[in-house]
């Protein structure tokens, strides 16, 4: 096959490209330039998309003996991933930009360009497994290394795009194995630190980034009864389940800590209360992506609600405009805007964006 290998400049994508070459594919490397502010480097490997990252990707491609290109996708990234991130926070929701990047950039823009140029598939350094189900449809499974599994952020791609994706690291036992292989191959990125935080927030100050783009808009912090207990500079700075940084001027009557229960952008109000009011027993999800035939009947599954969250027992069913999920036991800290991914064992069943949550009756 003709394979386009996405090279971020890190060790995972470099080893993934090397394995694609070993498998006998005709491989071409491409680095996606996603940031409009491409500084020379970021201390400690923070983020990605720097000039240093592009240079590391080129060196890896040269060592592997494959052609290498840089594609400027920064405008598309800004219009989709960054714009969605800001609009979701402004609407009082909690987005996951990595999910949106996989949806709009890596397995939409990148894959579409690759197919238009005659490539058969795109290979990335994600930790997940792509296989074929018993009925012949593409199936997405968790990586063998559960600690590195990225099926949660990949589920949004759906079965059609999954059929054109290769994840050479999916069967790897650990990240240490990947680094050791990179060192054996002489790849210059074998000891390079992993990227952290949001790739488009270079200094890691997400609150500062939001403040710069959304501005200051002071408002009230109220308790569950509507009494004002504090002030905030912008409701966008708060997420459901948050405990720290609330700046409450009035302590709770019982002295117990309070958490963010709701963010109401229309009234610019943040609602706080005790932990027991955070319990959620179900959710309604929108824009579902199914990896099997949707069914209106409830079926058992496990639900993962954060990129590195612990799956919880649940049931799921298809609805006319999305999905319903019911949890076997209440969960806390779930907010609209998050991604919910449903599994049958290691296999992804479906993915959806949390539209609203069903709170446990107080």
Q: What does the domain layout of the chain look like in residue ranges? A: 2-185, 216-277, 279-359
Q: What is the pLDDT of residues 142-157, one digit of tens each?
A: 999 999 999 999 999 9
Tokens encoding 74: 């920064």
Radius of gyration, CA atoms only, the chain? 22
Report whether pLDDT(39) > 70.
Answer: no
Which residue from 83, 127, 73 is spatially nearest to 105, judged by alpha carbons?
73
pLDDT at 248: 87
Range 2-185: architecture per CATH: 3-Layer(aba) Sandwich (3.40)
Q: Which residues contact 285 (CB under 8 A, 6 or more apart)?
A: 322, 323, 324, 325, 340, 352, 353, 354, 355
Q: How confident is the model at residue 49 (pLDDT cuts 50, 70, 90)?
A: low
pLDDT at 348: 98
Between 324 and 208, the higher pLDDT residue: 324
pLDDT at 252: 84
Q: Which of 48, 49, 98, 199 is catalytic?
A: 199
Q: How confident is the model at residue 38 (pLDDT cuts 50, 70, 90)?
A: low
The proportion of the chain whose per-residue pLDDT surpasses 90, expressed as a percent, equals: 76
Report whether pLDDT(115) > 80.
Answer: yes
For 81-181, strand residue ranges (E) read 121-123, 128-132, 138-142, 165-166
Report whether pLDDT(36) > 90.
Answer: no
Q: What is the pLDDT of residues 281-306, one digit of tens each?
A: 999 999 999 999 999 999 999 999 99
Average pLDDT, the chain: 91
Q: How confident is the model at residue 141 (pLDDT cuts 50, 70, 90)?
A: very high
Q: How many CA atoms lie within 13 A of 54 on its CB side?
A: 15
Residue for token digits 């027992």? Answer: 313
Check whether domain 216-277 has CATH 3.40.720, yes or no: no
Q: How confident is the model at residue 111 (pLDDT cuts 50, 70, 90)?
A: very high
Question: What phi and psi values does residue 34 have, to the nearest 5 degrees?
Answer: -105, -20
Q: What is the pLDDT of residues 227-261, one digit of tens each?
A: 999 999 999 989 999 998 887 888 788 888 999 99
Q: What is the pLDDT of residues 174-187, one digit of tens each?
A: 999 999 999 999 99
pLDDT at 42: 47
Best CATH choice for the domain 279-359 from the list 2.40.30.10, 3.30.70.20, 2.102.10.10, 1.10.8.60: 2.40.30.10
Q: What is the pLDDT of residues 1-28, one digit of tens each?
A: 999 999 999 999 999 999 999 999 999 9
* Catalytic residue flag (residue 199): yes
Q: How confident is the model at residue 46 (pLDDT cuts 50, 70, 90)?
A: very low
Q: What is the pLDDT of residues 310-320, one digit of tens each?
A: 999 999 999 99
Which residue from 300, 295, 307, 296 is spatially nearest to 339, judged by alpha carbons?
307
CA distance 217 to 233: 5
Distance of CA 58 to the CA centre of its chain: 26
Model pTM above 0.75:
yes
Report whether pLDDT(210) > 60.
Answer: yes
User: What secondary structure letter does DSSP report for 248?
Assistant: B
* Catalytic residue flag (residue 48): no
Q: Which of 48, 98, 101, 301 is catalytic?
A: 101
């Amino acid at each position: 096959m003709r394979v386009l290998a996405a090279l971020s400049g890190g060790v995972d994508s470099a080893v993934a490209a090397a394995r694609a070459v070993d498998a006998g594919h005709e491989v071409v490397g491409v680095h996606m330039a996603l940031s409009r502010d491409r500084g020379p480097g970021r201390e400690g490997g923070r983020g990605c998309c720097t000039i240093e990252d592009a240079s590391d990707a080129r060196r890896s491609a040269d060592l592997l003996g494959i052609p290498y290109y840089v594609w400027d996708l920064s405008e598309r990234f800004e219009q989709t991933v960054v714009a969605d991130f800001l609009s979701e926070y402004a609407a009082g929701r909690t987005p996951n930009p990595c999910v949106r990047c996989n949806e709009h950039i890596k397995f939409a823009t990148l894959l579409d360009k690759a197919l238009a140029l005659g490539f058969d598939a795109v290979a990335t350094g994600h930790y997940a497994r792509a296989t074929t189900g018993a009925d012949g449809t593409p199936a997405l499974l968790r990586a063998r290394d559960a600690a590195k599994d990225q099926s949660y952020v990949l589920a949004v791609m759906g079965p059609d795009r999954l059929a054109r994706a290769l994840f050479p690291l999916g069967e790897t036992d650990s990240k240490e194995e990947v680094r050791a292989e990179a060192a054996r191959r002489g790849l210059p990125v074998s000891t390079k630190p992993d990227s952290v935080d949001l790739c488009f927030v270079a200094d890691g100050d997400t609150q500062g980034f939001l403040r710069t783009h959304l501005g200051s808009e002071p408002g009230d912090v109220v308790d569950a009864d509507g009494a004002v207990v504090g002030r905030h500079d912008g409701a966008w700075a708060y997420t459901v389940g948050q405990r720290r940084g609330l700046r409450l001027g009035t302590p709770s009557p019982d002295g117990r800590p309070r958490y963010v229960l709701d963010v109401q952008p229309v009234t610019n109000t943040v609602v706080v209360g005790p932990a027991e009011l955070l319990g959620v027993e179900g959710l309604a999800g929108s824009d579902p992506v199914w990896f099997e035939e949707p069914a209106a009947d409830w079926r058992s599954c496990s639900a993962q609600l954060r990129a590195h969250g612990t799956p919880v027992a649940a049931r799921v069913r298809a609805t006319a405009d999305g999905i319903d999920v019911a949890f076997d036991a209440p969960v806390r800290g779930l907010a609209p805007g998050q991604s919910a991914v449903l599994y049958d064992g290691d296999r992804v069943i479906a993915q959806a964006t949390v539209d609203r949550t069903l709170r446990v009756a107080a």
